[in-house]
Structure 1
Amino acid sequence: MANVTLTKKIKMIGIMTILLVMNTIIVYIGNGTSSVLPFLFFIPITFAARGFGAKGGLLVGIISGLLLGPFMPLDVLEQQVQPTFNWILRSIFFSIYGFAIGTFILRLKQQAEYDGLMGIPNRNHFYDYLTTELQKQKIQASKFYIILVNIDDFKNINDSIGHVSGDLLLISIKTRIKNCLKKNDLLARWSGDEFSIIVYRNNLEELTSVCNCIVRTLQHPHDINGQNFFIKASIGVSSSSHEHKSNEVLVKEAETAMRFVKGLGKNGYKFYTEEIKRNCLEEKVLEASLHKALETGQLELYYQPKVECKDAKIYGVEALVRWRRPAEGIIAPGVFIPIAEKTGLIIPIGNWVLKTACQQVKKWNLTGFANLCVSVNVSALQIKADDFVSTVASIIKEADIDPGFIELEITESSIMENSIDNIMKLNELKRIGVRISLDDFGKGYSSLNYLKMLPIDTLKVDKSFIQNIEFDPKEKVITEAIIKMSKALGLTVLAEGIENENQYLLLKKLNCDAMQGFYFSRPLPIEEMDKRLQLTKCS
């Protein structure tokens, strides 16, 4: 940075010298020849203002007035040395013009290259600066790093507190990030909730220290109008090298690393590596294949029985989507569901699951299984969609089944965003007869307030409480408390993840209503599920 400043000063001195020479030439060539020549002085003054701002325009304006005053009078018909008054008047006029045009040009530059809210460079300035640094690198073999900071879930925060408070929060975030940087680092606003940084560090240890500082400092509460906000960020980092031929590639690598952090659950940082690149490419391929799977019928439903505790009889099933890829066989849901959620494909997939499950309910009704309830998992994106209620109602109506045979399984996290709107949607579905189940209770926040607000019929105790319930007295006590509380609220209690007889007997003793798990059955394809139901019917 010091070398860049010195180079700019040398260039400035050189250009100023040229402008002064131009002034002198104009004066002596134009002496006594034309009344238009004074206007030529606006050219070097304007160029000085454009290159060096208001100070440059002021300086060249004063010098122009001093040079012009004695030789170019206000009355240009008189070709003689004028009084001091004319000299001073021209100097003042040109200096005012130089300062004014310099200030005006500077403001135009700031509007074009600086963010109006933050007072820091914007994306355009960042790109220009990055291009210069890449060119320098080819000559000086210098190295720098790009850090891209994305504020997690900022849109939701901004919508909830309003844009004025949101702007104040962004300024607070900018200030804290800047405190983690050195003077020669460049901080810019990349987009609405993203910042881009160029940092100069000697090694990865120093770079890691910067990233840790940003993550930690943003997590401390931000006091905005008396309200505290806790901010998390996803950060991607890329390193410059001689292989980078364009600024777009370097920024894209940082963005890829940042998206990778998002996929891991947000709130952290990653350095761009070839492994991350491969993972992203594989994810893109998988996304394209998932589109095709939805179009060509590669998805299918498996069904896991839900049984009553008192007699272990099947009273319902949970529909679980599987992807049968032609060349690879069954793809685990843990592989493709996160990609579907990230890309929005979870909405058409979720609608397909619900439609297929409703059609299966109709078939079971026609074959003598009229009281079988099918539960279907619903994602946060589905609930968030404006047409969620109408879509569910339309699918159930099209299948011509009783809405009470469909149970939508939601998680607490899926309704936390825009919770009021989401609860209203669930109430609408409840009114038409659809059953609602709260899945994975005990995992995450598990707010008791939501139990009071949500129109749920069933509470599913998370399997994390069941795994060691026979050995851990605390888990037994917690599970028993959940069962008693749920029953007091009039809810059906279902325990997930039952794997052995001891767990079954213990939960039966605790007066649990229903169970689900590998002890009773793994998820089954429709052919095996039909056989299982027939055996139950015969017994």
Structure 2
Amino acid sequence: MKNMKKYNYVAPFHQREGERLKSLHATKLLDSDHSERFDVITVLAATVFKVPTALISLVDSDRQWFLSCHGLEGDETHRDRAFCSHAINEKELLVVEDTQSHPIFKNHPLVTGKPYIRFYAGAVIRGEDTLPLGTLSIIDQVPRKFYEQERQSFLSMAKLVRQEIVQPAEISTHRMRSKLRNKRDPLTNAFLGDTFFEKIRVAYSKSVNNCKYYVLCLEFSNIEYIENHYGYIVADEIILELSARLRRGISQIGKNVLGRTENTLLGGFIVINLDHNPVVKLISDVKNHLQKCLEGPVKTSVSEIEPNINLAIIQDDFGVSAPHQIYRMAKVFVKDLPQKQGINTAVVTENIRKDELKNIELTRELSENIEQNKLHLVYQPKIDAHNEGLVGLEALIRWNHLSHGFVSPPTIINIAYKSNLIFKLEKWIFKTVINQIKKWKDKGFEVPRVSINVTGDTLQHKDFVNFVTELLNQTNLSGEYLDIEIVESSLFDNIDAVIDIMNQLRKLGVSFSLDDFGTGFSNLAYLKVLPISYLKIDKSFIDNIIKDKHASAMCSGIISLSNRLDMQTVAEGVESEFQVIALRAMRCNFIQGYHYSKPLGVVELETKYYNVSLKD
């Protein structure tokens, strides 16, 4: 609405607009089946006052919808162009005897263009709570006088309309059923389910050249909290207002379809004709426009409440994907947005979409690839900082996909988390590592501890300790060949339970390393009680250890702290001799990084470290 205030024919909102809209929607009349009860009145009005057009209009948040329409095509018009939007702010009646001489309406597009309105009279129709719902109006293409007797007769007809609207409960129920038959949400008037996607297809088929198409998904991310604390009525008030803001926003930039796909989700489709809208061209323009329309608190019957909104927008030419597929992707991005205050948006570009389509394909295939051993492990050596001997290995996951090539370890872990496969994946890693250790042992190799990265979810899984115990028993191996690397942040939820699990595994000989120490939030109190044997210094500190005195001081401090706590330190990502010299001087115990070795496959590792002279 703010963007259109340059047109003085746009009516201001009613001073109790939120309550008025609530009263209007409570009638269940919007988008109901047309009824002869109302059509009789509009025909009567047109006949009595000798005008070509008579309407019963209901003024919604962004449109006027015709409950009955005589002499005019269509079911609705935009609220910003509706004469009735002005009329509902009057006490009883708005009369414009000659629009061309009226300061507000003389430049109105419905006056200067079709249907060339020259005379208008609108009588206010009020609900049971006396708030205005809409009008009974008559329109003519020639100016005319509207005398007092005519005005009184017209107001009497408006009372007839009101009597038909204020009906018993059984008729309201009939209207609700009618709306559901039309596949619309009774609260927001948005299309439901498959009807939403069918309307998108129809809108797309009717579009012209030089158009851009956008699909969006909006989530009321804190609506459950609001419903639990304020009640469902307040929650509905917020959903109603935000859906009105969204509808108003998308209507200002193009043709559109609005849908409600879940209780907390709205969907939208926008067709922007670039010939008619040269301002909004880029997806960032759409985002900024909608964000501005949605922002601000919502005034409810209880208080003003600031809703939290997540919004994802995708531009698409619909050349490949169907509307429901594009919307589903928008929904994925909405669900991935952080639960923060205010409006959080995700603009999904073509490259981001390609990445997400790739991730969707990888997600479908991950479980099968785990079962078929299509993933593999590489091992990066850990070297003694002083004698440069092999003292450990870290197992790192790799996936060379047939179509997508190398899949990064963070991507694999992220997909496993989202698809609830993380425990399955990390069990596979354990089995693969322990079986490899057994093979090396059977060959007579001296095998150092092998570190395995484990998420907090897996560590705390009810079957994890038994799984590790049984695996060691089956292979007749000691837990002394295993080290479990954990990240501090994954342990905070239930630290006592984590300590108990770690102690059970330590009894088997398994040691623990704390990975990425020094990054993020490091709680020294937890470090004191966790049964940790190794602290791993993050690569971000190692990279700057020579040039940055702060990074050098952090490394020195971590190593000193580790020594005092009877722990050993492992420096990750070491790439130069200068870094090695500095770490030795600080009394770091072990070095891991490309300076000594990249991660190696089994054959490479055996060739480099397990030659004949190292055999028993």
Instruction: Answer yes or no: same fold by TM over 0.5.
Output: yes
Question: Compared with structure 1, are the counterparts of its residues 149 and 347 closer, same or farther at alpha carbon in structure 2 (3 Å cutoff)?
Answer: farther
- Quote how far apart the aligned CAs of 1:413 are: 4.3
Q: Give the SS at the match of 1:252.
A: helix
From 337, 358, 364, give the equivalent of 2:434.
Answer: 358
Matches within 5 A, 1:409-448: 409-415=485-491, 425-448=501-524
Distance apart, 1:476 and its partner CA:
0.1
Q: Find 1:235's aligned residue among 312, 317, 320.
A: 312
Give the match for residue 208 of structure 1: 287
Spell out, residue by residue over 1:449-477, the C-alpha distance to the aligned partner (whole angstroms, 9 max, x if none). 54345443221111110012111111101
Shift of 1:114: 8.7
* Structure 1 residue 329: Cα displacement: 8.1
Q: Is the counterpart of residue 125 in structure 1 residue 224 in structure 2? A: no
**Closer/same/farther in 2, CA of residues 331 and 182 from structure 1, 3 Å limit:** closer
Question: Which residue matches 1:104?
Answer: 173
The answer to whether the aligner puts 1:489 opposite 2:565 as a matched pair is: yes
Trace 1:472-483 onto structure 2 (pairs within 5 A).
Answer: 472-483=548-559
Answering whether residue 578 of structure 2 is matched by residue 502 of structure 1, we say: yes
**1:341-380 alignment runs, 5 A limit:** 341-367=417-443, 372-380=448-456
- 1:16 matched to 2:38? The reply is yes
C-alpha distance in structure 1 between counterparts of 2:446 and 2:438, whole Å: 9
Residue 267 of structure 2 aligns with which residue? 196
Answer whether contact 1:176 1:217 (CA < 8 A) is retained. no
- Matches for 1:392-407 after TM superposition, within 5 Å: 392-407=468-483
Q: What amino acid is the match of 1:16? A: F
Between the aligned partners of 1:296 and 1:520, the Cα distance in structure 2 is: 33
Residue 208 of structure 1 aligns to which amino acid in structure 2? K
Alignment of 1:234-313 (within 5 A): 235-238=312-315, 249-259=322-332, 268-271=345-348, 273=350, 275-276=351-352, 278-287=354-363, 290-313=366-389
Aligned to 2:216: 147
Instruction: Give secondary structure in 1 for the equivalent of 2:168.
Output: helix
Distance in 1 (CA, whole Å) between partners of 2:437 and 2:376 is 15
Q: Give the C-alpha shift of residue 506 in structure 1.
A: 0.7
Stretch deviating more after TM superposition (484-493 or 468-477): 484-493
Partner in structure 2 of residue 51 of structure 1: none
List runs of 5+ in structure 2 lacking aligned partners.
Answer: 2-9, 11-23, 25-29, 44-67, 69-125, 129-159, 251-256, 298-305
Report the residue type matching 1:249 in the other structure: A
Query: How many angstroms does 1:269 deviate by?
Result: 1.0
Alpha-carbon distance between aligned partners in 1 of 2:456 and 2:600, rounded to the nearest angstrom: 26
CA distance in 2, matches of 1:308, 1:399: 28
Opposite residue 262 of structure 2, the aligned amino acid is S
1:520 aligns with 2:599: no
Distance 1:419 1:163 in 2: 33
**8 Å CA contact 2:445, 2:610 repeated in 1:** no
5 Å-filtered alignment, 1:170-185, equals 181=246, 183=248
- Structure 1, unpaired ranges of 5+: 22-47, 49-53, 57-90, 219-228
CA contact (8 A) 1:55 1:99 kept: no
CA distance in 2, matches of 1:97, 1:327: 64
Q: Per-residue displacement from partner, 1:307-361 (whole Å, max 9, x unpaired)? A: 2223222221111233456799876546655444443444333222211211233
- Residue-by-residue CA offset, 1:63-96 (whole Å, 9 max, x unaligned): xxxxxxxxxxxxxxxxxxxxxxxxxxxx9xx989
Q: What's the secondary structure of 1:524's corresponding residue?
A: coil
Question: How many angstroms apart in 1 are the aligned matches of 2:595 and 2:218?
Answer: 47
Q: CA deviation at 1:232?
A: 8.5
Q: What amino acid is aligned across from residue 235 of structure 1 in structure 2?
A: A
String of CA shifts for 1:417-445, please: whole Å, max 9, x gaps.
66665555445434544222121223334
Cα 1:316–1:9 change in 2 (3 A) is closer
| Closer/same/farther in 2, CA of residues 198 and 374 from structure 1, 3 Å limit | same
Are residues 104 and 418 of structure 1, via their aligned partners in 2, closer, same or farther at CA, if it must alter by over 3 Å?
farther
* 3-state DSSP of counterpart to 2:312: strand
Work out the CA distance in 2 between the residues paired with 1:426 and 1:162. Answer: 40
Kindly provide the amino acid, as one letter, of the partner of residue 105 in structure 1. H
Q: Structure 1's 105 and 151: CA in aligned 2 closer, same or farther, altered over 3 A?
A: closer
* SS of residue paired to 2:561: helix
Change in CA separation of 1:388 and 1:115 when aligned onto 2, cut-off 3 Å:
farther
Q: Structure 1 residues 161-170 or 469-478, which shifts more? A: 161-170
Q: 1:16 to 1:120 in 2, by over 3 A?
A: closer
Q: Which letter does structure 2 place at the counterpart of 1:125? A: L
Partner-residue secondary structure (3-state), 2:192: helix
More helix by share: 1
Residue 502 to residue 177, structure 1, CA distance change in 2 (3 Å): farther
Report how far residue 284 of structure 1 moved: 4.5
User: What does residue 65 of structure 1 align with?
Assistant: none
Counterparts in 2 of 1:231 and 1:376: CA distance versus 1, 3 Å: farther
Paired amino acid for 2:346? Y
